[in-house]
Structures are given as structure tokens and as C-alpha cells.
Amino acid sequence: MRETGADVRLVRHSAAALDAAKARLDKLDAPADVASWHVDPKANRVVVDVVAGHLDDNDVSSFLRSARATAPVRVATVPEGPRTFAAGTVGGDPYYTGNVRCSIGFSVHGGFVTAGHCGRAGASVRGWDGSAMGTFQGSSFPGDDYAYVSIGHGWWTVPVVLGWGTIPDQLVRGSAEAPVGASICRSGSTTKWHCGRLLAKNETVNYSDGTVVHQLTKTSVCAQGGDSGGSFISGDQAQGVTSGGWGNCSSGGETWYQPVNEILGRYGLRLHTA
């Protein structure tokens, strides 16, 4: 291994042991100021992110004591708690359901995938122009954050992610999963096109309203209200749909996405590719 340039290091906790430890944390009742937790293979720990200024809160301290009793834990801080990125209706954006505006994720044959918190199964969807577009055929949130919308009424699907004039619109050619550290970009109806790095996978996120979502992927890309459901893409490969995060696109932040391959498998969908 060393001959190839790899660094061999014996670690105390195996990957299976760390995954099992994280699964035990997933069963704990996390307070609002515990933002998220994920396995960090390099640190050989389960990293728990706590909102800055709340480490000494009684409920946070109690959670961390329980976490340390069941898993090898490293505590980190984040500037603010995560939230989902749906928004009230604003004219001229991709789709609406009720009084919520969200963003299309990726075209699939028969419709598109998006975030589950944007609408319940059976909810009607209107397009950017306010005309009837389709219906939520399936939706899962919390726990997961994904949904499938079937379309009709003269709408059709194309294998494209909007670049919003920042770059040319991007063709989607597949959904090969990008590794941690990869460059990744997001397209959404509020803040348009932004890029960053893939930071961690299989993260449990405790949103500030008390809803918990598992197996999300964390990125350094910013997002804001109305970007929910929008596309995360690496090169020409679909990665996932925007779930939520903290911060904004003025001062920066972090955003999580629901991996797209899980959505395709859950509903038996086929990604529309170029």
C-alpha cells in the first residue's frame, strides 16, 4: 500500500462499529440546538455538531452525555441551527403547492423528484406560470426528505439542470455518486446556481422545528428559502435534492441534500438522461 502512496493507519474503531454507534445516536431524542451528527472516518469518531453558544445548555449537555456513553464522539460547533428551505409563494418560480414554493430536482420519466417537505402525497402542483402541472404521487418527511411528482397538462420532462445564466444549462447523463471532497453545485429557484464541496455522507440532521432526517449528504454550498427540492449535481451526474441547511448566500452556510438514487429506488423511477 505504501508503495502506491497510500498512508496506512490502524484505527481503534472499525467502519461497521462507527456506523452502529451512529445508529444508536439516531435513537436518542436530540434537542433543537444539536444540529446534526455523522461518521467521520478520518477522525474515527461520530461528529456531533452543536449550535454555537449552546454547548452548556442542560438539554444539550444531557444529550452529549448519552451520546458519549454509546459512541466515540467528537463535538463541533456550527453558527446556527439547520432549517428546511421551502418558502411562501413568489411569482415566476418553478413550482408551487398550496402556499409553498419549492424547486424541481431532476426529471424522471413521468415527472420529477423533489423534497418531501414541499408537499404531501395527493397535493396538486402548479408550474412557474400558475397553471396546473401535476400531483405528488409519493412523499416522505420527516425521517426521509423526498417526493415524486407526476406531471401532465401539457408539461414534459427534459434532462437538464438550469444554470440560470451563471453557466450554460447542464445536461444530466447519470447519477453516479460523488465522493466526499468532490466539487458539487446546486440549482434552485431563489438563489439560482452555487457551488462548493461535498463534506459528509449519511448525516442525521435535527432541523430547528424538531423534525429529524436521516442519511443526508452535507455540502459547503449555500441555499435559502424556496431552494428546497432543487438539484445537486456533480459534473453531469445527478446527486440529490435540496433538503435544508443553515446560513444564506450572502454570508455563506452549509446545505444538506437527499441522495437521488434512494428516491429513484423507493418509487421505481428512471432518471431522464441525455
- Active-site residue set: 117, 145, 228
| Close Cβ partners of 233 (under 8 Å, ≥ 6 residues apart) | 161, 170, 172, 184, 185, 186, 187, 239
Q: Which residue has the cell 444539550?
A: 60
How far apart (Å, rounded) are the C-alpha atoms in residues 63 and 20? 18
How far apart (Å, rounded) are the C-alpha atoms in residues 163 and 191? 11
8 Å CB contact between 245 and 258: no
Cell numbers linked to 236: 453531469
Q: Which residue has the cell 418531501?
A: 116
Q: Which residues of 87-111 are buried (b: 16+ CB within 10 A; e: fewer)?
A: beeeeebbbbbeebbbbbbbbbebb
Q: Please give the full DSSP string across 45-56, using - where no structure is assigned.
A: EEEEEEETT-TT
Instruction: Return the sign of the alpha-carbon dihedral for residues 25, 31, 36, 41.
Output: negative
Nearest to 241 by CA among 186, 184, 177: 186
Which one-letter amino acid corresponds to residue 115? A
